[in-house]
Structure 1
Amino acid sequence: MKSFTALGASLLGLIATPVAGIALPNGLMTPNIKDIFSRGLENRQAASSPACVNGPTSRNCWSSGFDANTNNYQSWPNTGRTVVYDLSITNTTCNPDGHGARTCLLINNKLPGPVLTANWGDIMRITIRNKMQHNGTSIHWHGLRQLNSNIQDGVNGITECALAPGDVKTYQFRLTEYGTTWYHSHFSGQYGDGVIGSIQINGPATANYDLDLGPYVLQDWYYITAFQAGARAFNFGLGGAPPTGDNILINGTNKNPQGGGAYNRVTLTPGKKHRLRIINAAIDASLRVSLDGHPFQVIANDLVPTVPYTTNYLQVGIGQRYDVIITANQTAGNYWFRADPEGLCQSANSGLGRAIFTYSGKPVADPATNALAGPPTACSNPASTPKVSLSVPSAPFASSAQNLPVAFGPVAANNNLVLWTVNGTSMIIDPGKPTIQYVAEGNTSYPRSYNLVEVSAAAPWTYWVIQQAAGAPPIAHPIHLHGHDMYLLGTGSGTFSSANTGSLKFTNPPRRDVAFLPAGGWLVIAYPTDNPGAWLMHCHIAFHVSMGLSVQFLEKKNQITLPAPGSEWYKTCRNWNNYQASRPVYPQDDSGLKKRWPPVTGGLGVEI
């Protein structure tokens, strides 16, 4: 097994100069710098043509040998640069929509947290300082592949220990993909209380545009804390449903249903094409997104560049991202941007997400515009076409596809707590003993509650049929896979059977890291087994993850890059376990994972 050593990190710091800003894309290549961090795993394309210069009329270009046609699962630039950020998480209060202040957990005292900006191929180094009083934490870099850097994935209980109050941790990884994503706490209900931020990785694009408006973060908001809302979700007497959210925030603001607060405002330049990077960072609400009078040209979903297509509406599941181009070719004035709970995906909220897009030179006022025609009629994954065409072997599917049933129910032996299960198990992990520690110790006695599935090291692809079990509430689940993009072979209603195999798409199917499992239906995915690690797959409705709707895939465990003895990774574990031992144990939900004390046992005929 391989270890990322402190020496390697130190040498890397000597050859990659920290930067405060982001340079233009041309001239990024530094061919004489040895890439220590990726240990030779980067495959650089040969520069067979002169460097193209990325600009308003040539967004497909990036740098010599790299453009929108590059297969970034295999090739990425070596920029020789490290981008450094320092983030502090604190207990505070906030009042984002004017309803009234409540307890918040914020990054650098911002909601959402700072935008982390870098270029394709850069190394990103982020120091996290846990200044919260009574909360551990871990920060997940959503959608980033973390190729051969599984221990940087930021999932306490799986890839690392939780970061104790007062402790400091540094993450470091190479950006092998480009586009729009976000970062968030993967500990309990924290991200619903504000521990979120966006990531913008500059790179080529599949259509031209003039201006980049940057990330646009959408989130649901509760006037109680996410911890309080989560506690209600566990209560079978309330139907196992969380309380309805109170509002939708857009880049950290909105008017509340009573009229206080303020709308987010965006300026459009007449005649120009604007790139907008839409992120759904909610904990419970999938959103229907549109801009009055202006269709979206979609150029990427999640971190996958797509063949451009035009739509009036987007259904944005929790955790999903869409990069869109908006052409300012309408009558100059004010237009509503809408982000409403998508009832077709069983989402609800008492507020309506609204922002005002104003043409430059016009006074800002509440718009009098109407929504576009042609709203969605079902909750579904769009049939997007990836720009880089990649296909999935179809021959092994029939013999190697495995089932992952998703079920739901109360546990009578534990005061009727409500749980979700995947493959018969409701995941419970220990933030002080992650899966990677078991791997490092050569200990294969993984607790059943870790819901661990070993992926065959011999098979180049793995296939999964995710099926909602009969009797489970008919809810659309946004399923997120860590460490990989999912190849979406197909989806449908009812129960999957061999009769559905003919409808599956193996030739350049849609790819993304979050996809809807339809209410009462099935989702078939595949991915290549090319990234050693312990990778979580879970529903991104935070309450469902806390209630157990997770599974982890252990992939090529003998090739995982493990933490070096005596490294910060082990110090973080010691500090967390010392912190836990010195304080009373509280009931605690973990968003994406969870820790319940005492452990829940019995009921449903499964170990939980």
Structure 2
Amino acid sequence: MKLLTSLAAIVSVSEAFVLPAERLSSELSTIEERQTADPECVHGPQTRRCWSGGYSVATDFDLKHPETTVTRSYTLTITNSTCNPDGNGERLCQLINGQYPGPTITADWGDLLSIKIINKLEDNGTAIHFHGVRQLNTCGADGVPGITQCPIAPGAEFTYLFRATQFGTSWYHSHFSNQYGDGVVGAMVFNGPATSNYDVDLGPYSLTDWYYATAFETSMQSMISLQTQGGPPKANNILINGTNKNAAGGGAYNEVAITKGKKYRLRLINMSVDQYMRVSLDGHKMTVMTSDFVPIKPYVTETLLIAIGQRYDVIITANQTAGSYFFRVDPAADCFAANDHFGRAIWTYSDVSPSTPPENPWPVPTTQCLEPSEMAPYWKQAVPSNSFSSDVTRLNVNITTGEFLPDPDTIVVWAIDDQNINVNWSRPTVSFVDEGDTDYTPEMHVMHLQDEGKWNYYLIQQTGSAPPIPHPIHLHGHDFFVLGQGSTAWDGTATLNFATPPRRDTATVPGGGWLAIAFPSNNPGTWLLHCHIAFHIGEGLGMQFIEEAGKIVKPHGYDETCSSWRAYEKGMYYPKHDSGL
């Protein structure tokens, strides 16, 4: 049963709060035609490329974005609860405003957001990360405990303030250990232009694996299994917008009504703990128009592979015989972490009654867990190639031994360059920066980015000591250009794409393979890079970048949040047992 209570998020319009001035990298602002104003361009069903005020889908939001005077205010209260999303039975959950998934945060491109988090959990801290949001000059709103803030203690609250400089679809989730697997997740929609026309926006379609054990139980099972290089626990189900039938036939499918001849926008979000997914709608092809927040040149496909943390906005045209059709969300078997369960929803044309659809799936392609090759950004931008060979930094994903302080035991961990990340909740990286202390501890796993305006190149690869499984790599504070991927060891002979590279904020290192990315330094902050398999970042697979340290500003409420957390931590019931992320 899908848990949906009345929306308790408070949305309001108020005077704009003050943010640091947005800055643009001069090295990126050379393509003036992308910024040509068109005051007659008005957003509508046949003109989705348009927005308002001369902004359109041709506007690269890294270079320019609206700055409205509207503030969207939300209050999100996190509580201990129980939930039963697939009818299998109640289990302990942690919910936002009493519902799963949490309320959808909605704003227009250029709006300001004020999001108050009230922690009413009994024995857990929390912090909320807004996945893929650039947080331009607002690093303190990135929501990463031990890096950008202290956790929000039980009984305390914290308000995140930032501007929606991007448009599109994403999600927010707890970054406090594996907490989001217990329900602390929700969708985000930043309304803006699009590269393809449509009639109806169906809103977010959240896709997630679901475990009958709690997130902290499964994370401990995964860590114990890792000690012998075994696999993590398998999920018990896959949910679509918080519901599905269970193996015994209980529960309920998500249902969608469509009208023949209409074009529907669907916002797909993989919110899983540990599950790559392949999605499709029987008999209907999809026109893909975004990858993560980035608009792309539309292309048509029958199925779509979605890594953990990735989003795709697609257009589906209701152009088939009236009836009911299965929307399928299947484990991606070529991405290792397949379970034995499948997500299903039923889409029905409005002039017939819903019924159990026939089995008519599209053929399943074999991709070796590589990203779709058709993703060409709508904004054509080349990446400088002349300094790649001299400036590229290799990051080796491997398994080694390490500690998760304060626990002194040495255990098997996931790592980058033989170092597992392990944050100190009570002294985040921002505190080091604010105090001018550069004596970073090894377990903080800090690396400095290039100076403002210069390009950063990273080659992330798996080494022989790691099982050959894919890792969805997510970068905070930036999206990046994907110069190339490969499913075998990097040998320097692959041809990289500097001319028209895909661009996104989450991309896969294939099992036993490599991923090459590039991005410019243009956003001061302390930014986490990590595998978005929740078990893996909990087991150490991450590191952090410090960018333009002299321009990093602590957010309002930072010191109070740390004070309340330090007081709570002295007697907290559940000690930290993993990386803290």
Shared fold (TM-score greater than 0.5)? yes
1:273 is aligned to 263
1:47 Cα deviation from its structure 2 partner: 7.2
Structure 2 Cα separation of the partners of residues 112 and 584 of structure 1: 27
From 325, 329, 332, the counterpart of 2:322: 332
Q: 1:414 to 1:581 in 2, by over 3 A?
A: closer
Q: Displacement of 1:347 after TM fit? A: 1.8
Q: Deviations over 1:96-139 (max 9, x none)?
A: 00001000000001110001111000001100000000000000
TM-fit CA distance, 1:560: 1.6
Q: TM-score, normalised on structure 2?
A: 0.93
CA deviations on 1:342-374 (whole Å, 9 max, x unpaired) are 110112223211010111121111111411135
Say if 1:261 and 1:496 are closer, same or farther in 2 by CA, change over 3 A. same
Residue 131 of structure 2 aligns with which residue? 142
State the alpha-carbon separation in 2 of the partners of residues 315 and 198 from structure 1: 19
| Structure 2 contact 37–55 (Cα < 8 Å) conserved | no
**Partners in 2 of 1:345 and 1:488 — Cα distance?**
19
1:514: how far off?
0.5
How many Å apart are 1:409 and its aligned residue? 4.0
2:527 corresponds to which residue?
535
The aligned residue for residue 483 of structure 2 is 489
| Partner in structure 2 of residue 8 of structure 1 | none
Deviations 1:262-303 (A, max 9, x none): 000111111000000000000000101111011110000100
Q: Any residues of structure 2 matched to 1:448-527 within 5 Å, and which?
A: 448-457=442-451, 460-500=454-494, 503-527=495-519
- Residue in 1 that maps onto 2:377: 386
2:6 is matched with none
- What is the CA–CA distance in structure 2 between the aligned matches of 1:46 and 1:319, rounded to whole Å? 30
Q: Where in structure 2 are the equivalents of 1:179-578 lying within 5 Å?
A: 179-235=168-224, 236=226, 239-373=229-363, 375-383=365-373, 384-409=375-400, 417-457=411-451, 460-500=454-494, 503-563=495-555, 567-578=556-567
RMSD across aligned C-alpha pairs, in angstroms? 2.2
Q: Which of 42, 49, 58 lines up with 1:60 in the alignment?
A: 49
Give per-residue Cα distances to partners, 1:125-171, cap 9 Å, x unaligned. Answer: 10000000000000000000001111110000000111000101000
Structure 2 partner of 1:128? 117
Any idea what SS the aligned residue of 1:344 has? helix
Identity %: 48
- The alpha-carbon distance between structure 1 residues 240 and 254, as it changes in their structure 2 partners (threshold 3 A), is same
Name the structure 2 match of 1:116.
105
Cα deviation code 1:469-493 (max 9, x no counterpart): 1131010000000011110001113
1:523 is paired with a residue of what secondary structure? strand
Structure 2 distance, partners of 1:47, 1:495, is 44
Query: What SS does structure 2 have at the residue aligned with 1:561?
Result: coil
- Please state whether the residue corresponding to 2:289 is helix, strand or coil: strand
Structure-2 separation of matches of 1:459 and 1:121: 23
| Residues 19, 81 of structure 1: 8 Å contact kept | no
Report the Cα distance in structure 1 between the residues aligned to 2:496 and 2:263, rounded to whole angstroms: 36
Q: Distance in 2 between matches of 1:166 and 1:348?
A: 39
Question: Per-residue deviation at 1:381?
Answer: 1.1
Q: What is the CA-CA distance between 1:459 and the residue it aligns to?
A: 6.2
Query: Aligned-pair distance for 1:429?
Result: 0.6
In structure 1, how many angstroms separate the alpha carbons of the residues matched to 2:466 and 2:263?
A: 45
1:189 is displaced (CA, Å) by 1.3
SS of 1:499's equivalent?
coil
- Assess if the C-alpha contact under 8 Å between 2:109 and 2:190 holds in 1: yes
Deviations 1:314-348 (A, max 9, x none): 11000000000000000011000111111101122
What is the CA-CA distance between 1:19 and the residue it aligns to? 8.9
Give distance in 2, aligned partners of 1:20 and 1:429. Answer: 34
Structure 2 counterpart of 1:91, from 80, 84, 90: 80
SS at match of 1:261: coil
- Structure 1 position 226, deviation (Å): 1.0
SS of equivalent to 1:436: helix
Judge conservation of contact 1:85–1:127 (CA < 8 Å) in 2: yes
Given residue 389 of structure 1, which amino acid in structure 2 is its aligned partner?
Answer: K
2:146 partner letter: G
Q: Which runs of 5+ in 1 are unaligned?
A: 1-17, 23-29, 595-608
Aligned position for 2:4: none
* Cα drift, residue 40 of structure 1: 5.4
SS at match of 1:480: strand
Alpha carbons of structure 1 residues 239 and 423: separation in structure 2 relative to 1, 3 Å: closer
User: 2: CA distance between counterparts of 1:183 and 1:483?
Assistant: 14
CA distance in 1, matches of 2:103, 2:553: 29
The answer to whether the aligner puts 1:583 opposite 2:572 as a matched pair is: yes
Structure 1 residues 356 and 585: CA distance shift in structure 2, 3 A: closer
Question: SS where residue 61 of structure 1 aligns?
Answer: coil
Given the superposition, is the C-alpha separation of residues 332 and 184 from structure 1 closer, same or farther in structure 2, using an over 3 Å criterion? Answer: same
- Match of 2:249, SS state, is coil
- In the TM superposition, residue 398 of structure 1 has moved relative to its aligned partner by 0.7
Aligned to 2:5: none
Deviation at 1:589, TM superposition (A): 3.1
Per-residue deviation at 1:417? 3.4
Alignment gaps of 5+ in structure 2:
1-8
Q: Distance in 1 between matches of 2:43 and 2:564?
A: 46
CA contact (8 A) 1:488 1:526 kept: yes
Range 361-370 or range 567-576, more displaced? 361-370
Task: Identify which range, 308-317 or 372-381, moves more after superposition.
Answer: 372-381
Deviation, 1:36, is 4.0
Higher mean C-alpha displacement, 197-206 vs 364-373? 364-373
1:481 and 1:538 in contact (8 A); partners too: yes
Contact kept in structure 2, 1:407 and 1:471, CA below 8 Å: yes
Q: Deviations over 1:399-423 (max 9, x none)?
A: 0001100001456998773310102
